[in-house]
Amino acid sequence: MSINLKSPVFAGNPIRSKTPKSTDPFSPTSAFQTLKLLLSGQTHVQGPSSPKFKVLPFVKGRPLAGSTGDLVKKWHLGWLNFSDFKDVLEGSEVKLSDDLLVYLGYKSNEKEHDQEQEEDEEDSVVYWAIDVSEGFSLVEKLGSRQFCFVDLRTLMVATDWADDGAMGDLAIAGHARALLEWHNTSRFCGSCGEMLIPAEAGRRKQCVKDSCKKRVYPRVDPVVIMLVIDKDNDRALLGKQSRYVPRMWSCLAGFLEPGESLEEAVRRETWEETGIKVGEVVYHSSQPWPVGPSSMPCQLMIGFFAYATSLEINVDKSELEDARWHSREDVKKALTFAEYEKAQKTSAYKVDQMCKGVKKERNLASDFNVESGELAPMFVPGPFAIAHHLISSWVHQCWWLWVASDATSGGFGCGGGPMVVEGLGSGGCSQLVVILRGVGGCGHYS
């Protein structure tokens, strides 16, 4: 199959398109002032032209979700309007206050000057997230509405990547989880040790000590992820970690260190993990990754192709379980045999059952089978991961930059939109050196 992604998974957030002016009613500053008035009981502050508020609760990093559909199950975020949310919290362990809610973004019903099509005639909405992990009784109360708190990784696998709405929901949930987990792990000032309190509607924190007042902003941890290529023998280096699903292989990756360039990080991590030396390093794409541990609530995956200058593998067992060179043909088979669509439907069914109160868990690892029922010898991460697109781009020899598309682009397909060809060798697509002007690069796979 062939799929064009408009943006990487967890990117393309539909409620973060731009930062409004502070005087706009749906800006963080104005919306937060309205929020405080609503919490004080002044419900009259929201007039006909005022934005409505919707809230997305989280429990231990898991967003509230629901499920719809008969044959085809589709999950959706469990947004609650503000009055319903207050009713749900009534009598629970959570005492609602303005410092618990985090501003996520907004949708306006006003027509933008550069917009050609009319927007839906609906109220402007400001979106908030809140951590209600202390509200143990809320799980049962919301369960009666067929909502449940679902792990973000499960929602990630359950998302139909051809569904723009579901992809947008996933990006919103990822952004919200990253902010809430950052708030939970950033409680004290690193300079003086005093308490940190939320500021700017939860978009930053500030030390309470008058002589300090240190400002702290959400943490982003940059990670380099690379497909190491043996150009002469037409092979790629893939690694396996003990925590991986059986038979899964992926790209190498590692955190950027202080005082280090991205290219240096690629070379260092490859050498440390596998003993392979790398020369040329070429940027491919990036992806926010808010499904890591709570201590690192939002990683930024920065993808590269890395060209090996040595071939003998010496695996550091403290880093990897194994690493091997794989031919292009073997990797292509891994892309073919891994039944991503089946895993997506199975996971969507799992979410649906959870929302209906069914407790039984299903093992998604068993879903990666070929049609004969035999286990695929190997597979690589699905289209929700940047590793998939690095590997797929190499397999199909489409080594163009994969960057965010604009209105002139059809998405992340091979080509599309204006480009400047810098040079063309005899090798065809893989020899192209191109500059893409605000259009999609290669996210093609089949």
Encoded tokens for 271 = 């050498």
* Fold exhibited by the domain 28-185: Nucleoside Triphosphate Pyrophosphohydrolase (3.90.79)
Mean pLDDT value of segment 133-145:
88
Measure CA 6 to chain center: 14
Structure tokens at 404: 């965010």
Q: Is the pLDDT of residue 420 over 60?
A: no
Mean pLDDT to the nearest integer, 195-221? 94
Q: What is the pLDDT of residues 242-269, one digit of tens each?
A: 888 888 899 999 999 999 999 999 999 9
pTM of this structure: 0.82
CA angle 361, 363, 368 (to 5 degrees): 150
Nearest to 387 by CA among 256, 279, 287: 287
Cα R_g (the chain), whole angstroms: 23
Architecture category of domain 221-337+376-395 in CATH: Alpha-Beta Complex (3.90)
Average pLDDT over residues 176-190: 94
Q: Where are the domains of the chain?
A: 28-185, 221-337+376-395, 396-446
- Percent residues over pLDDT 70 in the chain: 77
Mean pLDDT across the stretch 119-123? 49
Structural contact between residues 337 and 380, judged by C-beta atoms closer than 8 angstroms: no
Fold match between domain 28-185 and domain 221-337+376-395: yes
Measured in degrees and rounded to the nearest 5, phi and psi for residue 270 equal -65, -45
| Positions of E strands within 123-234 | 125-131, 148-149, 196-199, 204-207, 215-216, 221-230
Full DSSP string of 7-20: S-TT---TT-S-PP
* Of 73, 153, 164, 76, residue with least CA distance to 346: 73
pLDDT beyond 80 at 431: no
Per DSSP, the three-state class of 239 is strand
For residues 49-54, average pLDDT = 78
Q: Rounded to an integer, what distance in angstroms lies between the CA atom of residue 15 and that of residue 62?
A: 20
Q: In one letter, which amino acid is 204? A: R
Handedness of CA 267, 268, 270, 275 (dihedral sign): positive
**Ramachandran region of residue 69, left (φ > 0), alpha (ψ -120 to 50) or beta?**
left
Task: Return the SS3 of 172.
Answer: helix
Instruction: Give the rounded distance of the alpha carbon of 64 from its chain centre.
Output: 17
In whole numbers, what is the pLDDT of the chain averaged over residues? 81
Say what the pLDDT of residue 425 is: 32
CA dihedral 298, 304, 307, 308 (to 10 degrees): 10
Backbone phi and psi for residue 432, each to the nearest 5 degrees, phi listed first: -70, 135
CA atoms of 340 and 154, how far apart (whole Å): 13
